[in-house]
Amino acid sequence: MLEGKAVVEETDMLQTMQHDALGLAAKALDFFDVTQSTHIACFIKKEFDRTYGPGWQCIVGTDFEADEANQFADVETIKA
């Protein structure tokens, strides 16, 4: 379970979206093994697309760095 273990490191998302992202990450971990990062990312992306409209991207993994630039999207980095 993710509760109490995840830390939002960097975001420009609204507080409600941050809460939704953390909740969906926890829910995804109930359905998928932690090693199934592709399935977890797809689950979170589909839920965000359904709730907030299409065009979301979700990257799930460990020990990586990326520079993602998109002027039209909110960004959230969660460290678990």
Q: What percent of the chain has pLDDT over 90?
A: 41
CB 54 within 8 A of CB 73: no
* 46 membership: H or E segment, kind and range: helix 37-52
Structure tokens at 13: 């998302």
CB 10 within 8 A of CB 29: no
pLDDT of residue 13: 87
Cα separation, 46 vs 29, whole angstroms? 15
pLDDT in tens, 20-58: 999 999 999 999 998 898 999 999 999 999 999 998 888
Structure tokens at 2: 């993710």
pLDDT of residue 74: 56
Q: Which residue has the higher pLDDT, 56 or 76?
A: 56
